[in-house]
Amino acid sequence: MSRFLNMLRSWLVMVSIVAAGNSLQSFRDHTFLYEKLYTGKPDLVNGLQARTYGIWTLLSSVVRCLCAIDIHNKTLYYITLWTFFLALGHFLCELFVFGTAAPTIGVMAPLMVASISILGMLVGLRHLEAEPGSRQKKRN
């Protein structure tokens, strides 16, 4: 396996662990969301919204961890890539469209992680294609 893919796997595990921590924090105390993320309109944050965010983040964490374990699974790889596109789109919309987030470190960090992850995974696609044995066998 290429060195880049090993680095990408480590990155995905790290991001997955951080996301799991954020998820658990959302279940424990919903004030985390309006103190760190949705500071633009904190009155819109409630327990239900925090638990929904927590489940979404936990699902993303699990998918990213599974991709790190089986990075050659192309379907899982693309699903993982989409988790980062969805996170990026969500936070950009909350920041620029809905105004529920402000450009604080709490919002800029996930935007940067999603952007770096998207770039890394797109580069990783080239490495996956270049590896011998990673191409699917042709059917007769």
The predicted pLDDT at position 133 comes to 57
Mean pLDDT computed over 133-138: 48
Chain centroid to CA 98: how far? 21
40 residue type, one letter: G
CA–CA gap between residue 72 and residue 30 (Å, rounded): 37
For the chain, the structural domain boundaries read 3-130
Per residue in 20-39, pLDDT (tens digit) is 999 999 999 989 898 989 99
Per residue in 40-55, pLDDT (tens digit) is 999 999 999 999 999 9
Tell me the pLDDT band of 126, cut-offs 50, 70 and 90. very high
Angstrom CA distances, 27 to 36, 57, 59, 100, stand at 15, 11, 14, 20
Instruction: Give the residue from 39, 44, 32 showing the smallest Cα distance to 95.
Output: 39
CB 112 within 8 A of CB 104: no
CA–CA gap between residue 66 and residue 80 (Å, rounded): 9
Strand ranges inside the chain, DSSP E = none
3-state helix, strand, coil in the chain (%, to 5): 75, 0, 25
Tell me the pLDDT band of 132, cut-offs 50, 70 and 90. low
